[in-house]
C-alpha cells in the first residue's frame, strides 16, 4: 500500500517493521481505521469530500424514505386528518394503543399472524435442508442442475402470478378439485373456507421458497472435507449415518444462522400474498396484522389508529430479531452483527 | 469391509462417493428413491406453470368442466388475441417496461454511489453510514406513515410513487459493498496517482471492473420492479398508469368475486375469466421465463456474494 510513496531501496527495514504506524504523511488518505477515527470531522470531510459527495443522494433518500416515515409514526399519538398536517392536528396520547389492545379483532389478527408465521417456520424451514441433502447425494451433475434450475423458478414470480396460480389450482374446476371428485370426494371451495387458508398459505409458501432456500445449504455442503466421508466409510458408516454424522454437523452453522433469521422475521407474514388471497369469508384465519392495519388505515381512513398498530408490529419484529440474535450469540457464539 | 476399503483407495475418487463398483444394493435403491423424490419436487414445482399454460390454450367449455390439467383441451388461441387486442393491456404492459427501466436506473445509481462510498475504509463515519442503512432492514416506518409521506410529496398518480420509495435495497447494497471491498487496492491507488478524481476512478476504473456485480444487481432490481404491484396498487387510481401486474390483479380479483357469487362454478363468467386470467398470467410472466435460464446463475452468485459478508 505504501509502495509508491516511499523509495523502497532507501529504508526497507523500517517499512517492514512498522507498516501501519509509519503510514507516510502524504496526500494519500490513511487506511488505518484507528487513525481515521482520530481525524476531526472537518479535516476528514475536506480531505475526502468527493467520497462524501457520493453519499449525499443515497443518504438523503434514506432520511426521506426510511427515517421520515419512522418519525411520521408520531401520528399514532396525534389526531391525524387525511389531507391535513402530515404530523396530525393535536395530541391524543396513548388513546389509539389502548383502543387496539382492547379490540378483539386485533387479538384475532395477532393470533392469525403468529399461527401463519409459526406454521411456515415449522413446515417451511426443514424443506430446503432436506432438498439440499437429496441434491447432494446425486451423482449426475446434469440432473442436479436441472432440479435446481426448475425449483428456483417460483422465486422469480410476481406474487400476483403466484396468487393467480393458487386461485386457479384451488378453484372449483381446478386441479385439486378434479382430483377430489375423481376419487369420489366432495369438492371444496378452498379459498372460501377459513379452515383451509393456513394450509394453502403454508403450502404455497413452501412451493415458492423450497428451491431458492437450498442455495446456501448447497454452498455449505461443498465446504465439507471429503476426507471426513472417507474416514466415515472406512469405519463402516453407511449413507444414512454419513449424512447424520458428517453432513449435518458440517452444515449446522448455516442451519442455525438461517433459523435465527427466520425466527427473527416470522411475524412478518407475507402481507401481499394474504392481501391477494383472503376475503371476508376467510378473515377468521387469514387476516393478519398488516392486512388489518391496511384495511383500517387506507380503506377506512383511520390513519392514526392504523399507525399505532404499525408501531406495535414493527417493535415486535425488532424485538424478535434482537432476541434471536442475542440468544444465538449467547449459545453458539454466532450473531448477525 | 477390508475389500471395500481397498476399493475406496484404488478407485479414482472424483467426488466423495466411490465408483459404481462399490455401491451396495441398498445404495442403489436409495439412489433410485432419491431421484424419484427429486422428480416429484420438479413435478410439483412445474405443475402450476403447465396448468396455467394449458388453461390459456383451452376452450372455456373444458375449463368449466374441470377437465384441463397439463395438456390443452379444445385448442383455443382466440383468447390470446382478445387479451392482446385490449388497449389497456398494452398500455399497462408498456408502463411496466417503463417503470422497470426507470426504477432500475435510479436504484442502480443510488446503490452504487452508496456502496462504493461505504466500501472505503478511510471514510470517517463509515460505520454510522452502514448502520443507517442496515437498521432499516430490521425496522421500518410502516405502511401508514409511508403512505402519508408519498401523499404529502404529491407523488401519487405519478411514476415517482412507484420508482422512488423502494429505490434502495440494503441487501443489494451490502452485496456491492463486499464486491468493491475485495477489489485490489492498487488499481484505485494507481488511478489516483494518475490524477483521477474519486468520480473518475469510480467511473473509469471501478465500474468497468465490476461488470459482473453490476449485471447481477441490475437483474435483481429489474425482476423486483417487474414483479411489483403493491406500490402502484395503493398510489395509483388511473388505469392508464397501472403496471400490468395491477391489470392482472384486477382480473383475478374480479374472477374471485364472480366465484364467490356463483358457488356452482359452471357459470360462463367464471370460466371465461379463468381462460383470460390464464392468458394474462402467461403473457405477464413470459419475459421472466425467457430470460430466466440465462440469468439464473447470476442470481445464485449474487446470493452467495451476499452471504460471504461475515
DSSP characters over A296-315: IIIIT--HHHHHHHHHHHHH
Residue percentage of chain B with pLDDT more than 90: 37
Q: Among B44, B63, B118, whose Cβ lies nearest the Cβ of A173? A: B63
DSSP lists the bridge partners of residue A78 as A91
Between positions 20 and 39 of B, the ones with CB within 8 A of A are: 26-27, 30-31, 34-35, 37-38
Closest residue in chain B to residue A52, using alpha carbons only = B117
pLDDT in tens, B192-214: 888 888 898 888 888 998 888 89
Contact criterion met (CB < 8 Å) for B259 and A293: no
Contact criterion met (CB < 8 Å) for B140 and A30: no
Helices (DSSP H) in chain B: which residue ranges?
2-10, 25-56, 60-65, 78-84, 87-118, 126-138, 143-152, 160-163, 170-181, 185-193, 198-200, 207-209, 211-227, 230-235, 244-261, 268-307
Between positions 140 and 179 of B, the ones with CB within 8 A of A are: 140-149, 151-152, 164-168
Determine contact, residues A166/A282, Cβ cutoff 8 Å.
no
Q: Give pLDDT, residue A26.
A: 39
Determine contact, residues B243/B99, Cβ cutoff 8 Å.
yes
- d(C-alpha A293, C-alpha A313), whole Å: 10
Q: What is the mean pLDDT of residues B104-113?
A: 97
Q: Give pLDDT, residue A63.
A: 96
3-class secondary structure, A78: strand
Determine contact, residues B299/B219, Cβ cutoff 8 Å.
yes
Interface test with A, best of B56, B92, B122 (most A CBs within 10 A): B122
Determine contact, residues B117/A33, Cβ cutoff 8 Å.
no
Determine contact, residues A131/A110, Cβ cutoff 8 Å.
no
Q: Give pLDDT, residue A27.
A: 39
pLDDT in tens, B231-263: 999 999 888 999 999 999 988 876 444 433 333
Q: Give pLDDT, residue A87.
A: 67
Looking at the complex, report in whole angstroms how far the Cα of residue B117 sits from the nearest Cα belonging to chain A. 6
Q: Give pLDDT, residue A89.
A: 74
Looking at the complex, report in whole angstroms how far the Cα of residue A140 sits from the nearest Cα belonging to chain B. 10
b vs e for A49-65, b when ≥16 Cβ sit within 10 Å of the residue's Cβ?
Answer: eebbebbeebbebbeeb
* Residue scoring higher pLDDT (B99 or B187): B99
- d(C-alpha B294, C-alpha B210), whole Å: 19
Looking at the complex, report in whole angstroms how far the Cα of residue B219 sits from the nearest Cα belonging to chain A. 11
Contact criterion met (CB < 8 Å) for A210 and B41: yes
Q: What is the mean pLDDT of residues A64-86?
A: 84
**Residue ranges of E strands in chain A:** none
Q: Among B17, B26, B148, whose Cβ lies nearest the Cβ of A75? A: B148
Q: Give pLDDT, residue B22.
A: 57
- d(C-alpha A266, C-alpha A120), whole Å: 8
Closest residue in chain A to residue B305, using alpha carbons only = A216
- CATH fold of B81-307 reads MetI-like fold (1.10.3720)
Domain ranges of chain A: 24-93, 97-331
Contact criterion met (CB < 8 Å) for A318 and B125: no
Contact criterion met (CB < 8 Å) for B145 and A72: yes
- d(C-alpha A79, C-alpha B125), whole Å: 38
Contact criterion met (CB < 8 Å) for B145 and A29: no
Determine contact, residues B116/B173, Cβ cutoff 8 Å.
no
Domain ranges of chain B: 2-56, 81-307
- d(C-alpha B176, C-alpha B139), whole Å: 22
Closest residue in chain B to residue A74, using alpha carbons only = B145
Measured between beta carbons, the chain A residues lying within 8 angstroms of B120 are 48, 51
The hierarchical CATH code for the domain A97-331 is: 1.10.3720.10
Q: Give pLDDT, residue A336.
A: 63
Looking at the complex, report in whole angstroms how far the Cα of residue B19 sits from the nearest Cα belonging to chain A. 10
Q: What is the mean pLDDT of residues A59-63?
A: 96
Q: What is the ipTM of this complex?
A: 0.83
Contact criterion met (CB < 8 Å) for B252 and A314: no
Contact criterion met (CB < 8 Å) for B122 and A150: no
Contact criterion met (CB < 8 Å) for B227 and A31: no
- Could you tell me if B113 lies within 8 Å of chain A, comparing CB atoms? yes
Q: What is the mean pLDDT of residues B102-119?
A: 96
Measured between beta carbons, the chain B residues lying within 8 angstroms of A236 are 1
Measured between beta carbons, the chain B residues lying within 8 angstroms of A137 are 30-31, 34
Closest residue in chain B to residue A26, using alpha carbons only = B193
Please give the grid coordinates belonging to residue A274.
394474504
Between positions 186 and 215 of B, the ones with CB within 8 A of A are: 189-190, 192-193, 197-199, 202
* Residue scoring higher pLDDT (A320 or B105): B105
Interface test with A, best of B4, B12, B16, B276 (most A CBs within 10 A): B16
Q: Give pLDDT, residue A37.
A: 57
pLDDT of B103 strictly over 90: yes
Interface test with A, best of B25, B106, B142, B309 (most A CBs within 10 A): B142
Measured between beta carbons, the chain A residues lying within 8 angstroms of B270 are 171-173
* Residue scoring higher pLDDT (B267 or B280): B280
DSSP string, A266-285: TT---HHHHHHH--GGGHHH
- Could you tell me if B244 lies within 8 Å of chain A, comparing CB atoms? no
Q: What is the mean pLDDT of residues A181-199?
A: 88
pLDDT in tens, B51-99: 999 988 888 777 777 777 888 888 888 888 888 888 889 999 999 999 9
Q: What is the mean pLDDT of residues A33-60?
A: 81
Which residues, including other chains, have CB under 8 Å from residue B40's CB and lie 6 or more apart? none
Amino acid at each position: 500500500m505504501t509502495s509508491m510513496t516511499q523509495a523502497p531501496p532507501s529504508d526497507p527495514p523500517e517499512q517492514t517493521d512498522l507498516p501501519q504506524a509509519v503510514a507516510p504523511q502524504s496526500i494519500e488518505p490513511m487506511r488505518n481505521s484507528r487513525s481515521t477515527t482520530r481525524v476531526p470531522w472537518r479535516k476528514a470531510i475536506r480531505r475526502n469530500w468527493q467520497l462524501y459527495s457520493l453519499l449525499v443522494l443515497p443518504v438523503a433518500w434514506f432520511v426521506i424514505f426510511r427515517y421520515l416515515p419512522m418519525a411520521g409514526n408520531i401520528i399514532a399519538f396525534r389526531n391525524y386528518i387525511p389531507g391535513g398536517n402530515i404530523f396530525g392536528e393535536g395530541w391524543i396520547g396513548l388513546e389509539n394503543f389502548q383502543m387496539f389492545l382492547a379490540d378483539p379483532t386485533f387479538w384475532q389478527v395477532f393470533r392469525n399472524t403468529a399461527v401463519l408465521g409459526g406454521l411456515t417456520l415449522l413446515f417451511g424451514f426443514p424443506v430446503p435442508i432436506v432438498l439440499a441433502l437429496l441434491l447432494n447425494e446425486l451423482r449426475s451433475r446434469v440432473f442436479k442442475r436441472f432440479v435446481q434450475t426448475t425449483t428456483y423458478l417460483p422465486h422469480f414470480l410476481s406474487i400476483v402470478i403466484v396468487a393467480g396460480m393458487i386461485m386457479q389450482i384451488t378453484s372449483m374446476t381446478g386441479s385439486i378439485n378434479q382430483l377430489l371428485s375423481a376419487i369420489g370426494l366432495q369438492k371444496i371451495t378452498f379459498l372460501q373456507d377459513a379452515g383451509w387458508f393456513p394450509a394453502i398459505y403454508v403450502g404455497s409458501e413452501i412451493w415458492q421458497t423450497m428451491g431458492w432456500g437450498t442455495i446456501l445449504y448447497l454452498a455449505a455442503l461443498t465446504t465439507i472435507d471429503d476426507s471426513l466421508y472417507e474416514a466415515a466409510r472406512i469405519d463402516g458408516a453407511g449413507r444414512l449415518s454419513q449424512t447424520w454424522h458428517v453432513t449435518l454437523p458440517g452444515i449446522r452453522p448455516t442451519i442455525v444462522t438461517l433459523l435465527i433469521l427466520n425466527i427473527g422475521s416470522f411475524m412478518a407474514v407475507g402481507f401481499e400474498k394474504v392481501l391477494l388471497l383472503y376475503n371476508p369469508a376467510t378473515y377468521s384465519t387469514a387476516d393478519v396484522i398488516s392486512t388489518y392495519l391496511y384495511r383500517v388505515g387506507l380503506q377506512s381512513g383511520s390513519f392514526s389508529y392504523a399507525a399505532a398498530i404499525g408501531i406495535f408490529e414493527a417493535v415486535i419484529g425488532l424485538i424478535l430479531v434482537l432476541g434471536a440474535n442475542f440468544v444465538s450469540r449467547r449459545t453458539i457464539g454466532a450473531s448477525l452483527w | 469391509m477390508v475389500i471395500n476399503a481397498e476399493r475406496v483407495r484404488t478407485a479414482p475418487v472424483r467426488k466423495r462417493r466411490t465408483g459404481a463398483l462399490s455401491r451396495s444394493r441398498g445404495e442403489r435403491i436409495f439412489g433410485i428413491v432419491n431421484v424419484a423424490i427429486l422428480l416429484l419436487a420438479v413435478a410439483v414445482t412445474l405443475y402450476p406453470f403447465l396448468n396455467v399454460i394449458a388453461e390459456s390454450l383451452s376452450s372455456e367449455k373444458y375449463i368449466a368442466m374441470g377437465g384441463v390439467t397439463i395438456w390443452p383441451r379444445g385448442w383455443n388461441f382466440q383468447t390470446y388475441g382478445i387479451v392482446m387486442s385490449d388497449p389497456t393491456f398494452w398500455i399497462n404492459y408498456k408502463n411496466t417496461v417503463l417503470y422497470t427501466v426507470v426504477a432500475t436506473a435510479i436504484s442502480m445509481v443510488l446503490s452504487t454511489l452508496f456502496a462504493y462510498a461505504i466500501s472505503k475504509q478511510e471514510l470517517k463515519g463509515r460505520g454510522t453510514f452502514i448502520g443507517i442503512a442496515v437498521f432499516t432492514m430490521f425496522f421500518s416506518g410502516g405502511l401508514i406513515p409511508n403512505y402519508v409521506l408519498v401523499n404529502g410529496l404529491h407523488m401519487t398518480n405519478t411514476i415517482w410513487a412507484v420508482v422512488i420509495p423502494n429505490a434502495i435495497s440494503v441487501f443489494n447494497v451490502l452485496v456491492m459493498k463486499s464486491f468493491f471491498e475485495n477489489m485490489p487496492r492498487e488499481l484505485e491507488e494507481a488511478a489516483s496517482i494518475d490524477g483521477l478524481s474519486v468520480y473518475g476512478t469510480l467511473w473509469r476504473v471501478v465500474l468497468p471492473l465490476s461488470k459482473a456485480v453490476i449485471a447481477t444487481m441490475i437483474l435483481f432490481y429489474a425482476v423486483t420492479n417487474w414483479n411489483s404491484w403493491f406500490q402502484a396498487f395503493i398510489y395509483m387510481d388511473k388505469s392508464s398508469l397501472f403496471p400490468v401486474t395491477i391489470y392482472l390483479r384486477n382480473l383475478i380479483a374480479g374472477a374471485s368475486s364472480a366465484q364467490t357469487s356463483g358457488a356452482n362454478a359452471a357459470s360462463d363468467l367464471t370460466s371465461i375469466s379463468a381462460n383470460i386470467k390464464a392468458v394474462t398470467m402467461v403473457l405477464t410472466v413470459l419475459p421472466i421465463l425467457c430470460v430466466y435460464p440465462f440469468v439464473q446463475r447470476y442470481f445464485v452468485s449474487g446470493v452467495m456474494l451476499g452471504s460471504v459478508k461475515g
